[in-house]
Chain A
Amino acid sequence: MPAAIKVENLSKAYQLGEIGTGTISRDLERFWAKMRGKEDPFLKIGEVNDRTTKGDSNIVWGLKDLDFEIEQGAAVGIIGRNGAGKSTLLKILSRITSPTAGSIKIKGRVASLLEVGTGFHPELSGRENIFLNGAILGMRKAEIKRKFDEIVNFSGVERYIDTPVKRYSSGMYVRLAFAVAAHLESEILVVDEVLAVGDAEFQKKCLGKMGDISKGEGRTVLFVSHNMTAVKALCNSGILLINGTLAQHDEIQNVVNKYLMAFSPVSKISFVSGNLMTSNNLVELNSIEVITENAAGGFFINEELSIKVSFTNKAVTSPININLFFNTPDGTNIFVTCSMGREFSKGQVTLKCSIPANVLNDNIYSIDTMIVTNSTPILFVKETLIIEGIEPHRQGSWLEKFPGLIKPLFEWTVEGI
């Protein structure tokens, strides 16, 4: 099969932190360097993108030297942890943003679905929005007209087609939007995790349609997802990105396995002694460590997870307890787990907290650490650790992410038939 997409030395640099303040001087400096024919001075100090370590520069490489080819008709899953560069790659492929270096060559039209319903206008009717959305995605009017009945049929919202979409339920909205996108006539379809919405029946329909597109119609599909079950069902090959670099490009099963193994076995964060953020005259937090069977940093949600907290008691004589706050990445607290209060003599203490298997979901959790004595917090370290749950496999036919911040396994019994 000839290549449909050829990616060569693709790199993309991002600037972290505040943009817009104090950048005129930097812009001028860049401009001056370019005028003299020198390299951009701020790109040289760019470093590998790893969100868990703090860098010295605020320029990072979101993608670094990617090189690969995708054959026509392939269904490729792009996987990697959050921040590995999946979305950046899709954005460059969809021509939403430009690379900093390198190139992508593409044969055929690209339809990208990074979001469903882009450009839907709430005041317009379903009919008008089909045309508007279709045109935004690159369809000609005649093409939309020809497929109109098919689109309406697929979406299943015939009755509401002349109602403004602002009166649609969110499910109907998504159905209509996906229906438009699914009928695009492009040689290459790029799909981000847009299927995380809608009901089960419709998701099945979407996945089925995507399967048809790649297998039946011979079009090339690129699919980004965190969901290994869906990726394995849909794709025949995969690309694994780690910190913006290509880690593996192989058959999907091998790539998924590698992804699940890619996390280093122990992730431990040690704090510099005397740091004002993690120490005071009473206690000092030394380190926090995640221990699991297979992986840390990322952990398998169907296995036990242990977190070791190590601190130095400097001057506390009353009982001490440790609280771990499990938060969502945006800071909403999900739960707090608290150790029993105990008196410790001066010196280093290590406590271990074991979280049984099947409690957490495949989310990212940000953990704050609080040391308490006499019901008074004496040290509070925010975002001590960030961990990511991974679901390696699942029984049953539901392919999408389980909703919810946690996913406890409860017992179900039949009480009568």
Chain B
Amino acid sequence: MNNPVDENWDIEITDKNNPFDLKLKDVWHYRDLLVLLVRRDFVSFYKQTILGPIWFFIQPLFTTIIYTFVFGNLASIPTDGLPQPLFYLAGITAWNYFADCFTKTSTVFTANAGLFGKVYFPRLIVPLSIVVSNLIRFAVQMLLFIGMMIIYWGRGASLHPNIYLLLFPLLLLLMAMLGLGLGMIISAMTTKYRDLSFLVTFGIQLMMYLTTVIYPLSVVESKYPRYAWLVKYNPMTSIIEAFRYGFLGQGTFTMLSLSITTAITIIMLLIGIVVFNRVERTFIDTV
């Protein structure tokens, strides 16, 4: 009853799949869902809060104040000659974007098991929606940062925004890709080995101290030349250094270090995609 003309099937479900196939066509079809998920994140974030979206400012602002007090004044860690609050805020803003993308993505499977267990849609939509909704948060925090920059500029601080500002879109993309890639690797593995979810929460904090959020790369290189590579080859370091250099005119990065970061990021994202694709297919049986 099945003549050969009928053999063009719309969906084929098999036990094999292409590890690099992102089903982008499917993702595109579900783009409205992405928008709605981002919207849901925001609405549920400040429903029944008094301050609402102001919370987006409070966290970086207070963190900056504390860092200025502890690391800037008590520990007197130099900041490449930049005003301390501005130095920290630059680091925090960029770091937060990466860290939020990473931690949120790393729980995609476990946090959405209920949803994933009942309905099909391209799973990639959820990590993407995380990256996008954090992007909006990041944009809001960038406003805070630029506002602070203008204030310090008005007071005559020596800030030198320069041509490297043009790298900003690339830096943003790298942070998103790195957060997404690492997050997908962890999320895929936590479906089987729950231990990793504990590692993530404190691992991300430790990683922050290996990144130039609270100190400039130049200080590590002069103080601990033997261990500086640990910080230097951390992919987030050159992103943050380049970010600071572009906006504030101080920072240590080279095109080489940025290329290494780009390479690491792409590798992480590819690994992330492969494991995510693999796990996506059967995780509901083990989660």
Contact = CB atoms under 8 A, between A and B. Distances in A.
A110 B11 contact: yes
B29 interface: yes
A107 B13 contact: no
A97 B282 CA distance: 5
B33 interface: yes
A104 interface: yes
A19 B117 CA distance: 17
A136 B115 contact: yes
B121 A136 contact: yes
Interface stretch (B1-9, B168-176, B203-211, B249-257): B1-9
Interface residues of B, number: 41
A322 B192 CA distance: 45
A91 B284 contact: yes
A99 B14 contact: yes
Contact of A96 (B29, B33, B43, B116): B116
A54 to B, nearest CB: 21
A103 B17 CA distance: 12
Interface in A59-95: 69, 71, 91-95
Contacts of A19: 192, 286
Given A101-B15, A124-B40, A135 B30 contact: yes
A131 B281 contact: no
A136 B33 contact: yes
A3 B120 CA distance: 22
Nearest to A97: B284
A16 B194 CA distance: 18
Contact of A132 (B1, B11, B40, B47): B40
B164 interface: no
Contact of A99 (B6, B13, B117, B120): B13
B143 to A, nearest CB: 26
Interface in B267-283: 281-282
Contacts of B32: 135, 139-141
A23 interface: yes
A94 B11 CA distance: 11
Contact of A106 (B13, B15, B192, B284): B13
B74 interface: no
B118 interface: yes
Contacts of B116: 96
B117 A96 contact: yes
B156 to A, nearest CB: 47
B30 A123 contact: no
Contact of B36 (A14, A94, A105, A132): A132
Given A132-B40, A136-B115, A136-B119, A96 B284 contact: yes
Contacts of A108: 10
Contacts of A107: 6, 8-10
Contacts of A103: 12-15
A98 interface: yes
Contacts of B29: 138, 140
B119 A2 contact: no
A104 B13 contact: yes
B18 interface: no
A100 interface: yes
A102 B15 contact: yes
Interface in A116-168: 118-119, 121, 123-124, 128, 131-132, 135-141
B229 interface: no
Please name the 4 residue pairs, one residue from A and one from B, whose CB atoms are nearest each other, closest first. A98-B281, A135-B33, A105-B9, A95-B120
7 contacts: A96-B120, A102-B15, A105-B9, A123-B47, A124-B40, A131-B36, A132-B40
Interface of A: 1-3, 6, 14-15, 19-20, 23-24, 27, 69, 71, 91-110, 112, 114-115, 118-119, 121, 123-124, 128, 131-132, 135-141
Interface of B: 1-3, 6, 8-15, 17, 29-30, 32-33, 35-37, 40, 43-44, 47-48, 114-121, 192-194, 281-282, 284-286
